[in-house]
Structure 1
Amino acid sequence: MPVSFLSNDQRENYGRYVGPPSPHDLARYFHLDDTDHALIAPKRGAHNRLGFAVQLATVRYLGTFLEDPLAVPQPVLRTLAKQLRIEALDKANPYSAGEQRWEHATEIRASYGYVEFTEPLIAFRLTRWLYALCWTGTDRPSVLFERATTWLVTHKVLLPGCTTLERYVARLRTRVEERLWRSLGSGISLDQQTRLEGLLVSSGGSRNSPLDRLRTGPVVASSRSMSLALMRLQAVRELGIRLPAATRIPATRVAALARFADAAKSSAILRLPVLRRLATLVAFVHCLEASAQDDALEVLEVILRELFGDAVKADKKSRLRSLKDLDEAAATLASACQMLLDDTVPDAELRKQLFARISPDALALALAGVNKLVRPTDNVYYQELDAKYKTVRRFLPALAEHIHFGANAAGGPFIAAFAWLRANMMVKRPDNDAPREIITKPWQRHVLREDDAIDFHAYTFCVLSELRIALRRRDVFVAPSWRYADPRAGLLDSTEWESTRPIICRTLGLSAVPGPTLTALADELDRTYHAVAARLPDNPAVRFEKVGDKKELVLSPLDKMDEPASLIALRAKVTGMLPRVDLPELILEIAARTRFTDAFTHISERTARASDLHVSICAVLMAEACNTGPEPLTRGDVSALKRDRLSWVDQNYLRDDTITAANIMLVAAQGRSALANVWGGGEVASADGMRFVVPVRSVHSGPNPKYFGVGRGVTWYNLISNQFSGLNDITVPGTLRDSLVLLAVVLEQQTDLQPTQIMTDTGAYSDVVFGLFRLLGYRFSPRLADVGGTRFWRIDSKADYGLLNSVSGHNISLQKIEPHWDDMLRLAGSLKLGRVPAAGIMRTLQVGERPTRLAQAIAEFGRIDKTLHTLTYIDDEAKRRGTLTQLNRGEGRHSVARAVFHGKRGELRQHYREGQEDQLGALGLVLNMIVLWNTSYMEAALNQLRADGFEVRDEDVARLSPLLHEHINMLGRYSFSVPDAVAKGELRPLRNPASDE
């Protein structure tokens, strides 16, 4: 494998000072203790004493002796000279050229126990430690190089040459990779190997190999597509690939190999060495079973949604068509009834007068019409379903054969019913012993005939209806799976939970038994009620109105905050000073400043790099973010922008883990900005969704006429900090309820910022969300659009809360919480440790009807926090304004996103989930680059304005926003080059606000 994986800067900085050490490092490595002073004191001359101290501190800090011992930053010299009481630093100048420094280096090595890298025991210990790191997944060569360097410095081992350590890391990675390949291929028979190799070879004149066909998932939802998806799953299983259990291969390594096989061309895999090729195919097939099963279930969900949705629409249309006839027949019968109720008409004359006004035939016709039209509302509904039975029958046998469902207690009736269907699907006259627990009341009239026999068609649709609901709730699940697995499978087991409970409770600030925490919350709720009630008479935003026989609390909307003239002037000045820039140059400038492109590594886990790779990465990111594709960026005369280079980078470098790693670097850079810290400290974040139409065929999109018209689309759900940086995002089909993905987008974010207060719009909250967020140590703070419809809960039913008594009539039962407290803590701990998927857990807890006892307990717990939030929300105008301000930041970020994502009419044209996630992930990266670039130049502009004597008020600076894009050209010119000074990290000159230049 290639061994030159370090950049030129990394090689130059190896074993060297890179800028002055931090105050923390100065205190840690450059403090001289009594032993140090005892060794230094006998040295003759101040220059020798200072030179010895510098060499000693340097080897502690860097792990090596410098060629020029005094080539150190001035703060180092000042720190050491001060401790040695040496004032004139120039006296140390002769030391670098003298021979004494060599003797001092030898003395330091002997006195402090420094050894060479070539010591056998050292090499053995380092190899064992680094091998374990590499095997468990920490295998990026540059990371391993840094870890090895840190280990050597810590263990007093003098750093070897840069290329020596580089070759050592490369050899170690080769050993680990070869072990991985051997382990994956160890249990594969010759017949299986032949079949795996056959996946790469096209036959019959086809351009696509069997591997290409297996990698291609469904893009439409139909019975044929469902059948093909199940055949694909069967084909994967028939390969019979199972990982050898004894080797304990890390899942991350298997997934990485599978990603490479999923993206690379068959010809590229064929060119791999035999051992690695076999291991790659084994990993791919192992992971593909879960993906193929998920794809089949996603198609099934769409089919069932459309099947039952079309039946509902047909029923409504039929009802609307019949209304006119029903009205006419009802009017006739109403006229007849009116005569029957007329006391002035004698009974003997009643029939004669009635038939004189309405003929018997007309009356009979009206009666027949009403009997026909007044029917249970699900007649047409079921008839529409029954007409589609042949469609369902095409894939149902294969579904029953190849998908093996598991279930929790709530899904048990479905499992029994589905097993009966599987057993009787091919029987002409099945027995009447079908499990009936699944037959709900609405289905009874269709499923159960007059003789109490089972209607097979109706029973089939009844089971499919329950399957649709159970899948959505995750009461039913499959394995292996990425998206439909049992969300409870990773919960901490009893033994592990016993040992982990104290740590989790201490981390989350909760008591191991329910009493102390619930008592503290009850006291907090009571105090808050009394405090808010006492201030109500002086709160002009709150009033009570009588609606019917009830009083409702009304919260007046916030008045628009006036913008002072100083803010308007400052905003105009700062905006006018921002340099005009093309988006490609902006991206390259941020790359030079943050080196985020280093986070993009090759998918094959090799160290493949290329000249000007950062330019290619930036171009691909822009092509994805702007939704233009690579064509406008392609340059035949620039190697980094050639079509094949951009395609190679797109396929091998742009993926979820590299995008996440790059985003971590961008968020950290924004967090270091003084101006960003004026806007916020990162403790607050908000979440909101942005909708994209998906005009291409895809099962990973969903309908919603409000957002997508007659088409389908996806929601890009974002988490944005109060520093304006995007922390995390999740792409979901259609418009999935925000509360289902909110917890996932918060828990799964990996940046250095750890927000504790989460703000959302009204649609994202529920009692369960409040409960889980409070358990996990977050304060959930949604905007409350209609406080009058919000329930205020109380624990003490007899407490007097003044004016709030009229709206706080709902009681919280702590008895619903206490028996489930340990399970609540266990769930919170499992979520905090990442053992269970947050989105899957939310599906199981937020089921609306028939919630589990645990869900009820969490919801009851959440009502305490929801009431606390509601009370403080109506009481504190600053809190309401803060929430609105943060949510507006999210809206502003979406506006910039629309401007960036301008190509192809702003429509997302990706068939598969991975493509959608990668493209929107690239969009999120570019948005964070724009925010960081604007923040840097706004900070420079503010400094310039202060230097020029312009009045800059702190309260005005806090209301500025980096969500600007008018000065950024995103159209027409795509030049990936920047001035040399900017490439070195310097800023561009600011514009003159009085000029258009």
Structure 2
Amino acid sequence: MATRVFSDEELEALRSFPMIGKDELIRYFPLTPADEAFLRKFLRPQTVLGAAVQLCTLPWLGFVPDEVPWAPPAAAGRLARQLGLPVEVLRGYEVSREQTRTDHLRQVAKYLGWRPAKSLELKELDGFLPARAMERDSPSLFRLGCEYLRSVKVIRPGVVTLLEKVGTARQAAEQETHARVAHLLTRERGRGLDNLLVVDPALRSSRLHRLGTGPMQASPNSVGGEVEKLVFLRGLDAHALDLSALPAERRRHLAQIGRRLTAQALERREANRRHPILLTLLAQSAVDVLDSVVQLFDQTLSGSESRARIKLRNELAERAKLSEDRLTLLDEILPVLADAGIPDEAVGTLPRQDRHVPADRGKRRGHGAALPRPRAPAVAGGLLHLHPPVRAEGLEDRAVQERHRGTAADRGPDDPAGAERGWRTQRPGQGADLLRAGPPRSGDVYVPGSRRYDNPETYLFKPAQWATHRAEFCRLVGKSSDASEALPLVMDELDEALADLEDTLGSGDGPVRLNDAGELVIPPLTAEDIPSEAEALHGELDSITVDYDRELAQLDEKGHRPLRTVSVDEPGAGL
């Protein structure tokens, strides 16, 4: 059972000394005069220093590793300096009999008020773990059990023993989970949950894998795929599943297991373990897919609008370029048309000779090679009005065309011209009008059932819900739940506070005062004064830190290093 939670290296780390930091060294490894008097009862120097290591390690880790002689060198050196002993004598503690070290630990535990983990203490642990197993996985539950034992001053038992307790609590949590959702697991729904693990020939994968695969990018196809998932989940009533009987952490933990395990691994589990996982995964997927649909639609719409705006800008630039070319051409044509001395048959050739363009360019553009002189004013007028309105074919967003005609700021919602241009008042529930009026602002539209886009008011207590929580809340804050009793007390507190404020303002020389204009002046809050005892303790800690660094340097010079050190990043460090 233990190896299924931790690896062999992690188990070894849980049984050994971790590396120690400055905070732990300062907190757990000072010796009081009473501690020194207790340690002097041991006769030999190595016994005194070994017992001192156990005395400080027990409150630090909650247990004492077997490798007492190989305690962290900084901790051993600090204890040796306080006891006036050379740190090298600790190596002699290794030759002591195991029974002797156990007797020393028993005496140290009795001095500190710690108890061994016997049947009564283990029974109390059995009552503590199951309630927390609903919200935590095995590693977290193991560490929580260690913290509990340390808080009640019970020496941590062996790692395997504690992991067996954790496994028992986990099994009880699984049974409790199934009992709380049993009313939702009908026969038809059970078959639907099992079908999630079957490979669909059309998808070439299981529905479970399909639900766990998110979109690669925001596009209309991605929106369609997410909508298809949402329709499938709605068909299973995933959005209507009421899992409030399970704690939120438990639901999140089961959903994570469902995403992490493959369909084959889930299929090998028993039904009473598999179905709650799939049920919570469905409910969580319904919320996640709904959020994904809204987000993808928003991103796709914004991308389409951006691309439409770029196309519109490019067309406007092309229009300006064509207008510039036509104006240049008019500058060359109009003087020829207006010159009565140029014969009619030479009108079409002179501009082309000046511009050095092919003679058939006018034909390719659709213009005749020669222009009759009587039609010159009409031709000139036509050339001046050849540039048509901007063509909007191919633009991806109708909203861009509306913005090109005018803005909502130019025409209000009640303006008839604004109404002709397609602008509408932004009202929730009118999706088409919202799109035509521009992107909705935050709070205009809420998506029921969503976690990211739902109305925040849905997270507040309803009056019926508050009635069940009012008594507990009033007990925690020390107020009466009866308004007839609580309101007069609050009014008295208000009157007292206002009286104090009036006295402060009346003096005129306090930090809170009224200026000449009758305005209330409140200066910035001052920092809390630090007591002198805290200042003295801060100076003592600084001196201890300097001594600690000096001890480390001396130990490095002498080469006193443990045979094995455990990194603080390894599991179980600091337990």
Q: Indicate whether the TM-score tops 0.5.
A: yes
* Equivalent in 358, 363, 366 of residue 377 of structure 2: 363
Alignment CA distance shift 1:3-1:169 (3 Å): farther
1:279 aligns with 2:280: no
Contact preservation (8 Å) 1:311, 1:380: no
Alignment CA distance shift 1:218-1:368 (3 Å): farther
- CA drift at 1:51: 5.1
SS of equivalent to 1:191 = helix
1:464 aligns with 2:459: no
* Equivalent in 288, 303, 327 of residue 305 of structure 1: 303
SS of equivalent to 1:148 = helix
Query: Residue type matched to 1:323 in 2?
Result: S
Alignment CA distance shift 1:363-1:282 (3 Å): farther
Give runs of aligned pairs for residues 594-605 of structure 1, distance below 5 A: none
- CA drift at 1:247: 2.0
**1:921-943 residue CA offsets vs partner (Å, 9 max, x unmatched):** xxxxxxxxxxxxxxxxxxxxxxx
Q: Mark the runs of 5 or more structure 2 residues left unpaired by the alignment.
A: 340-370, 400-407, 462-469, 478-511, 513-518, 527-564
Partner of 1:773: none
The separation in 1 between residues aligned to 2:98 and 2:231, in whole angstroms, is: 77
Partner of 1:115: 115
- CA drift at 1:282: 1.9
* Equivalent in 427, 447, 457 of residue 478 of structure 1: 447
The separation in 2 between residues aligned to 1:442 and 1:180, in whole angstroms, is: 63
Alignment CA distance shift 1:198-1:35 (3 Å): same
Alignment CA distance shift 1:517-1:240 (3 Å): farther
* Equivalent in 161, 165, 170 of residue 167 of structure 2: 170
SS of equivalent to 2:193 = helix
Partner of 2:62: 63
**1:882-933 residue CA offsets vs partner (Å, 9 max, x unmatched):** xxxxxxxxxxxxxxxxxxxxxxxxxxxxxxxxxxxxxxxxxxxxxxxxxxxx
The separation in 1 between residues aligned to 2:49 and 2:218, in whole angstroms, is: 77
Partner of 2:422: 447
**1:835-881 residue CA offsets vs partner (Å, 9 max, x unmatched):** xxxxxxxxxxxxxxxxxxxxxxxxxxxxxxxxxxxxxxxxxxxxxxx
Contact preservation (8 Å) 1:16, 1:62: no
Partner of 1:288: 285
Contact preservation (8 Å) 1:200, 1:266: yes
Partner of 1:198: 195
The separation in 1 between residues aligned to 2:233 and 2:63, in whole angstroms, is: 54
**1:800-845 residue CA offsets vs partner (Å, 9 max, x unmatched):** xxxxxxxxxxxxxxxxxxxxxxxxxxxxxxxxxxxxxxxxxxxxxx
Q: TM-score, normalised by structure 2?
A: 0.57
The separation in 1 between residues aligned to 2:260 and 2:98, in whole angstroms, is: 59
SS of equivalent to 1:168 = helix
The separation in 2 between residues aligned to 1:323 and 1:236, in whole angstroms, is: 56
Alignment CA distance shift 1:7-1:439 (3 Å): farther
Identity %: 21
Partner of 2:366: none
Partner of 1:380: 391
Larger Rg: 2
1:207 aligns with 2:213: no
The separation in 2 between residues aligned to 1:93 and 1:224, in whole angstroms, is: 74
Contact preservation (8 Å) 1:115, 1:157: yes
Alignment CA distance shift 1:325-1:261 (3 Å): same
Q: TM-score, normalised by structure 1?
A: 0.36
Alignment CA distance shift 1:83-1:475 (3 Å): same
The separation in 2 between residues aligned to 1:106 and 1:169, in whole angstroms, is: 26
Query: Residue type matched to 2:293 in 1?
Result: A
Partner of 2:535: none
Alignment CA distance shift 1:14-1:201 (3 Å): closer
The separation in 2 between residues aligned to 1:68 and 1:219, in whole angstroms, is: 53
Give runs of aligned pairs for residues 187-586 of structure 1, distance below 5 A: 187-202=184-199, 207-215=204-212, 226-241=223-238, 242-250=240-248, 253-262=250-259, 264-297=261-294, 298-299=296-297, 301-303=299-301, 305-306=303-304, 309-310=307-308, 313=311, 315-316=315-316, 319=319, 323=323, 327=327, 361-368=375-382, 370=384, 373=387, 375=389, 380-381=391-392, 384=394, 444-447=419-422, 463-466=434-437, 469-470=439-440, 475-481=444-450
Q: Mark the runs of 5 or more structure 1 residues left unpaired by the alignment.
A: 340-356, 390-412, 414-435, 500-510, 521-591, 600-664, 666-997
Alignment CA distance shift 1:146-1:440 (3 Å): farther
SS of equivalent to 2:440 = helix
Contact preservation (8 Å) 1:438, 1:463: no
Alignment CA distance shift 1:380-1:597 (3 Å): farther
Alignment CA distance shift 1:244-1:323 (3 Å): same
SS of equivalent to 2:96 = helix
- CA drift at 1:164: 1.0
Query: Residue type matched to 1:284 in 2?
Result: L
SS of equivalent to 1:373 = coil
Alignment CA distance shift 1:437-1:275 (3 Å): farther
The separation in 2 between residues aligned to 1:387 and 1:71, in whole angstroms, is: 73
The separation in 1 between residues aligned to 2:218 and 2:229, in whole angstroms, is: 15
Give RMSD over aligned pairs. Answer: 5.5
- CA drift at 1:157: 1.2
Contact preservation (8 Å) 2:63, 2:155: yes
Query: Residue type matched to 2:377 in 1?
Result: L
- CA drift at 1:160: 1.1
Alignment CA distance shift 1:373-1:6 (3 Å): same
Contact preservation (8 Å) 2:138, 2:167: no
Alignment CA distance shift 1:74-1:478 (3 Å): closer
- Count of residues in correspondence between the two structures: 432
The separation in 2 between residues aligned to 1:229 and 1:74, in whole angstroms, is: 58
SS of equivalent to 1:380 = coil
The separation in 1 between residues aligned to 2:88 and 2:302, in whole angstroms, is: 81
